[in-house]
Structure 1
Amino acid sequence: MAKNKKQHIGLIFGGNSSEHDVSKRSAHNIFDAMDKDKYQVSLFLMTKSGYILGNKDSARVFNGEPEDEVAKEALDRLDQKNPLAPIINLSEVANIDVFFPIIHGNLGEDGTIQGLLRLLQKPYVGTGVLGSAMSFDKDITKKILQLAGVTTTRYEVVTPMTSEQFTYQQLSDELGETLFVKPANQGSSVGIHKVENEEDYREGIRDAFRYDSKVLVEEAIEGPEELEISVLGNHHPIVSKVGAIKVPKSDAFYTYDNKFVDASHVEFDVPVDIPASLSEEITKMGLATYQALGLKGMARIDYLVSQDGKPYVSEVNTLPGFTNISLYPQLFAASGISYTELIDRLIQLAIEEYERQSKILYDFKPLDPKEQVIDNKK
């Protein structure tokens, strides 16, 4: 790339999930933080129906025009018989240097958009297909972490095929009187229920099945707060200071409303004052989690801490929020990395990982003694 040439960034946001509007807010913050002397930015909005709009239409929505109206106009112009219609607009800008997907939840964090960008042979910010898919599925995440020796909460998996085999009494005998019911593949606390009796359990299961065909029933860790760290890097990641989220005692847990509707009663303690031994343990667990799941670029890792001070990895977010109240950038700001520098680093990490991946062979080739091995130091 020639010196002084701006890098062309494709910012993909929106998506077909409950976090659509959150993604739009994240995209605005990322766009505002980008150094425009370094970057030219093209916008690609994925509608709630899963169609990607072109830069001009995406910019109209980005600048405040009603999304439904713009999307209808844009989709009316598309040839719906073309099987590539949902993604055809990505072809309008052929010279994208790096894609920055910030689609939270379905299609964005589950490996789908990552697979598409890999097919397009473009660098992209964040974790690859497998790491994204494993981290998005809470059941698979827990299984991997258990194999890696990382402490996580005990749970059972309920599916439509097995739902009649489980009762609240059976599960509470195994996991404790207070249980959490949650969809395996969903974000932002959607479909999550805190249950303490059979009636609430059945209602929670019924609601969770609206969002996924696999549901986790998890033990409750009744600690004072939820702790979080941010991780940045590829093969040698760095970890931020530890932050805390404190929700009102009147709320059972950190709900969707707490996160995105009214956060006025939620306290963010960044960085949080905790014993050094707990901070060290959380950092060690975070790095082990990042490595076990094969994560790249970035992740936010959430922890529950019991009353006796034992931490449990609760959830892994491979495309965390970048809104005004999102903890991922806040934690790194508290650790000495500004929002703008964070964006720069993520883009550079995307390029480094793409270059590393490009050296991997997928067809047989005799070994040349002079051939340089893949560099995993970055």
Structure 2
Amino acid sequence: MQQDFGKVAVLFGGNSAERDVSLASGNAILTALISQGINAVGIDPKTDDISLLKKLGFDRVFIALHGRGGEDGVIQGFLTTLDIPFTGCGVMSSAIAMDKSKTKQIWQSMQLPTADYQLIVKESFDESQCAAILARLSGTVMVKPINEGSSIGMAKANNEQQLIAALNNAFTYDDKVLVEAWITGKEFTVSMLNGQTLPAIRMQTKNEFYDYQAKYQSTDTQYFCPCGLEDDKLAELNRLAIEAFNAIGCRGWGRVDFMLDEHEQWYLLEVNTVPGMTTSSLVPKAAKQAGYSFEQLVVEILKQTL
């Protein structure tokens, strides 16, 4: 196996708001690769000179960078220029998936279900617009920075003052913010591996939504896998996941997030092109249900670079 892969760089850490999660993911991946006899080395772009990857003899890269610089096409473009194979999506699909508004526009053009929304730009934002925004989006909304992950900067709002506060907070992370109609229902995720879906997971939290605290800090968050859907509804979910993933041009591995509302209607939320790989992360949970150990999953993802 070591001969097949050569020298592998695991890129993790970085400078994004998701640095801590990336460090946890990268360390887990690095440990798993080394346990399988693979010559893997951890590289942190915040402290290490990644321009030396080629000179240092790295044959391929496992990208474990979350957020900006890791999921937005930047590192993918850099590695493409160096002609070093890497895990996951390419430049364009990474950039599109990182931008929630661009992702939704493509899905809408293909008649894939996604919630109504409005894009708010910081430099032209006027607080007097908030009443009209709420009215157009049925009174309750979710506020999301366009280019952040791990639910960073997200908040629910159901009145003008809450929306103003949520937008101003989101603007500290991004100059563009998505205001999306609130969906009441259950949250699901479908992990993708080599063009196929892994077993779907339903997440349940006592929080208002599956936020950063529920994902990484809470001991009360529940994960159901199998997810409990009837066969026809599960088939519909898997079909939508594949269509949504392919619509963005994604490849290799990733994760597609959904809501199922009170009327049994699916809504696509977003695509994650470098999902978390911590001990509490969703892709390893789905892979385990499909029969993969964490080590097997990591090696399977790395095989995509051969």
Global fold match (TM > 0.5): yes
Residues 307-339 of structure 1 show CA distances to partners (whole Å, capped at 9, x for unaligned) of: 111111111100000000000111011012222
Residues 172-222 of structure 1 show CA distances to partners (whole Å, capped at 9, x for unaligned) of: 221111111111111111111100111111111111111111111100110
Residues 121-166 of structure 1 show CA distances to partners (whole Å, capped at 9, x for unaligned) of: 0110010000000000000000011112211111000102432286
Residues 288-321 of structure 1 show CA distances to partners (whole Å, capped at 9, x for unaligned) of: 0111111011111110110111111111100000
Q: Find the partner of 2:215 among 241, 256, 259.
A: 259
Structure 1 residue runs of 4 or more that deviate by more than 4 Å after TM superposition: 2-6, 35-38
Change (3 A) 1:31 1:176: same
Spell out the pairing of 1:1-378 with structure 2 (5 A cutoff). Answer: 4=3, 7-34=6-33, 36=35, 38-47=37-46, 52-53=47-48, 87-94=50-57, 96-164=58-126, 167-223=129-185, 225-233=186-194, 237-248=195-206, 251-260=207-216, 262-351=217-306
CA distance in structure 2 between the partners assigned to 1:38 and 1:329 by the alignment = 20
Task: Read off the aligned partner of 1:99 and give its amino acid letter.
Answer: V
Change (3 A) 1:92 1:21: farther
Task: Provide the alpha-carbon RMSD of the alignment.
Answer: 1.8
Q: Between the two proteins, what is the percent identity of the paired residues?
A: 30
**1:46 Cα deviation after fit:** 2.2
Q: Structure 1: 5+ residue runs without aligned partners?
A: 54-85, 352-378
Q: Residues 181 and 217 of structure 1 are in contact (CA less than 8 Å); yes or no, is this contact kept in structure 2?
A: yes
Task: Read off the aligned partner of 1:107 and give its amino acid letter.
Answer: G
Change (3 A) 1:37 1:272: closer
Q: Secondary structure at the match of 2:199?
A: coil
Q: Residues 188 and 202 of structure 2 are in contact (CA less than 8 Å); yes or no, is this contact kept in structure 1?
A: yes
Q: Residues 6 and 37 of structure 1 are in contact (CA less than 8 Å); yes or no, is this contact kept in structure 2?
A: no
Q: Residues 6 and 38 of structure 1 are in contact (CA less than 8 Å); yes or no, is this contact kept in structure 2?
A: no
Residues 270-305 of structure 1 show CA distances to partners (whole Å, capped at 9, x for unaligned) of: 221112122111101111011111101111111011
Residues 99-131 of structure 1 show CA distances to partners (whole Å, capped at 9, x for unaligned) of: 001000010000011011101101100100000
CA distance in structure 1 between the partners assigned to 2:150 and 2:300 by the alignment = 26
Change (3 A) 1:208 1:334: same
Q: Secondary structure at the match of 1:350?
A: coil
Q: Residues 34 and 40 of structure 2 are in contact (CA less than 8 Å); yes or no, is this contact kept in structure 1?
A: no
CA distance in structure 1 between the partners assigned to 2:203 and 2:237 by the alignment = 15
Q: Residues 54 and 84 of structure 2 are in contact (CA less than 8 Å); yes or no, is this contact kept in structure 1?
A: no
Change (3 A) 1:166 1:283: farther
TM-score by length of 1: 0.77
Change (3 A) 1:122 1:6: closer
CA distance in structure 2 between the partners assigned to 1:3 and 1:93 by the alignment = 17
Change (3 A) 1:93 1:177: same
CA distance in structure 2 between the partners assigned to 1:91 and 1:292 by the alignment = 32
Task: Read off the aligned partner of 2:225 and give its amino acid letter.
Answer: V
Q: Secondary structure at the match of 1:25?
A: helix
Q: Secondary structure at the match of 1:296?
A: coil
**1:258 Cα deviation after fit:** 1.8
CA distance in structure 2 between the partners assigned to 1:313 and 1:198 by the alignment = 26
Q: Secondary structure at the match of 1:107?
A: coil
CA distance in structure 1 between the partners assigned to 2:282 and 2:300 by the alignment = 17
Change (3 A) 1:12 1:168: same
Larger RCO of the pair (alpha carbons < 8 Å, separation 6+) = 2
CA distance in structure 1 between the partners assigned to 2:153 and 2:121 by the alignment = 15
Q: Secondary structure at the match of 1:42?
A: strand
Q: Residues 230 and 300 of structure 1 are in contact (CA less than 8 Å); yes or no, is this contact kept in structure 2?
A: yes
CA distance in structure 2 between the partners assigned to 1:227 and 1:239 by the alignment = 13
Task: Read off the aligned partner of 1:222 and give its amino acid letter.
Answer: T
TM-score by length of 2: 0.95
Q: Residues 167 and 198 of structure 1 are in contact (CA less than 8 Å); yes or no, is this contact kept in structure 2?
A: no
